[in-house]
Structure 1
């Protein structure tokens, strides 16, 4: 099985307000997440990213279309193979980091001793080894993100879903989070990242889907998407003032040698262009 997540023509709508106005959260989206890759789910606020994630997790049901995880419909068996870090984890602050992660390990079906060992290992991986017995009420936002990641991976899931994993992290923490994502990939895990941090997405992801108003605006292998839209810059060696004033004229006329350098469009530029095109601006 090549795809861990397979979404086909997925639709989800809500009735909003007193008049029950129909709101299309997802309007027939399709994309797949391949086994072992890091996949970025992108889009502006309100694009449908959270709705799609909730359907993958089995927290919402679609109105039509299909969502397969590990080749089958959402079930308790598929859910047990998923680890999830929400955008704003809301944990009981009276718990210690170890108690929190042990709790989630037990929820995944581990026995008491197995859960404690797994929790300690998980907390060490995310850099909280020295804070095992500290109450979460004393944690910074970045430390809570790390604790959240620890609970997401404690049961050794095959698919890890990270919703804005860099929220509240400083540059060092962001770099650590990126390294942890790469570590998960190196272990053969599949990682789905929902993020507005496009530079990190470009650094980490193999493929992306960009959503806009419930539809897929662009989707595919990241390198292929960006290399399809190359920008071209020119360098002039020893240009004269006359050349600079007449740049629109033929370079050969002034005996200036031009060097052409091509580079892929950045993900941030690609994202902004796609969204602007879709919005008609």
Structure 2
């Protein structure tokens, strides 16, 4: 059994008649990068704020290393809010040192850590500048430094890649990988699904305050099925030649190329046999769904069920 890291167990939250979270449950293991994705208003930020103790849950609990999170535990969490939470008129270096001291670091250690992270994140030259004088991208780098400066045991980041240029995205990605390699559980939300797919060990897809799908991308793909791309050299073939196949949905057709999705009961060999009866098959390939495809499948599947 894997060593417990950060555990979100059955968290529910209401605001009056509005249900924000419904039995939200997932875990982030030590040394794991966990991507938390969902539409706006799905419940990601509310979950993170409850984990931090900023909000209280109506039910459920948050644990770290098997123990319920306390005020002392929260001193060791690095949190990056979606809305920048820095003091705009305070200098970068002074601010990071101050935040590190609030988390229990000694003065010298806090100053050294502030210097280390401004250097690592490419804002060392702006250490004596007020935050409000920085570009939005550099403010985002400083916000990440604020989450890291006290050397946290857990990282919880809300849209950390928002507004960053590709170079800054690479820097931040490298830092998150380094922290995971040190054994830190890292959870972050993002709408940049291609980045989440590339970076994360596991991914949770949230809808209407509930965890709808959770696992590695290969695991999610195995549940979602896949698509087949066919190039059939049969110009005279009827456009609906594949629609009667059981467990098959036609995603699109352009010229002689037909793209199909295999659902429950779909048989790729049966598809191939029918395609060969239609005309010579020049291409027959399985197309792995991207995280964007998986996300759409989860959301649209529940809309159809509703």
Whether these two folds match at TM > 0.5 is yes
The count of corresponding residues between Structure 1 and Structure 2 is 270
In the TM superposition, what is the alpha-carbon distance from 1:86 to its structure 2 partner? 0.7
Q: Which of 247, 263, 277 is the matching residue for 2:287?
A: 263
Query: Residues 226 and 254 of structure 1: is their aligned pair in 2 closer, same or farther, counting only changes over 3 Å?
Result: closer
Q: Deviations over 1:124-178 (max 9, x none)?
A: 1111122211221210111011001111111111211110011121222223222
Query: Residues 235 and 177 of structure 1: is their aligned pair in 2 closer, same or farther, counting only changes over 3 Å?
Result: farther
In the TM superposition, what is the alpha-carbon distance from 1:208 to its structure 2 partner? 1.5
- 1:63-142 residue pairs with structure 2 within 5 A? 63-142=58-137
Q: SS of the residue aligned with 1:3?
A: coil
Q: Which of 18, 22, 27 is the matching residue for 1:27?
A: 22
Hey, what does 2:7 align to over in structure 1? Answer: 6
The answer to whether the 8 Å contact 1:206/1:223 transfers is no
Unaligned residue ranges in structure 2 (runs of 5+): 243-273
In the TM superposition, what is the alpha-carbon distance from 1:257 to its structure 2 partner? 4.5
For the aligned residue pairs, the C-alpha RMSD in angstroms reads: 2.0
Q: Deviations over 1:170-194 (max 9, x none)?
A: 2222232222222222232221011
Hey, what does 2:235 align to over in structure 1? Answer: 244
Q: SS of the residue aligned with 2:169?
A: helix
Distance between the aligned counterparts of 1:23 and 1:123, measured in 2?
A: 41
In the TM superposition, what is the alpha-carbon distance from 1:251 to its structure 2 partner? 5.0
- 1:175-194 residue pairs with structure 2 within 5 A? 175-194=170-189
In the TM superposition, what is the alpha-carbon distance from 1:252 to its structure 2 partner? 4.2
Distance between the aligned counterparts of 2:55 and 2:73, measured in 1?
A: 15
In the TM superposition, what is the alpha-carbon distance from 1:119 to its structure 2 partner? 0.7
Q: Deviations over 1:71-124 (max 9, x none)?
A: 222212211221011112132222221111101111111111111101100111
2:190 matches 1:195: yes
TM-score scaled by length of structure 1? 0.89
Which ranges of 4 or more aligned residues in structure 1 deviate by more than 4 Å? 249-255
TM-score scaled by length of structure 2? 0.82
Q: Which of 203, 216, 222 is the matching residue for 1:208?
A: 203
Distance between the aligned counterparts of 1:81 and 1:38, measured in 2?
A: 18
Distance between the aligned counterparts of 2:210 and 2:301, measured in 1?
A: 13
In the TM superposition, what is the alpha-carbon distance from 1:259 to its structure 2 partner? 3.8
Q: SS of the residue aligned with 1:134?
A: coil
Q: In terms of mean alpha carbon deviation, does 217-226 or 80-89 score higher?
A: 217-226
Query: Residues 196 and 251 of structure 1: is their aligned pair in 2 closer, same or farther, counting only changes over 3 Å?
Result: closer
Distance between the aligned counterparts of 1:214 and 1:254, measured in 2?
A: 47
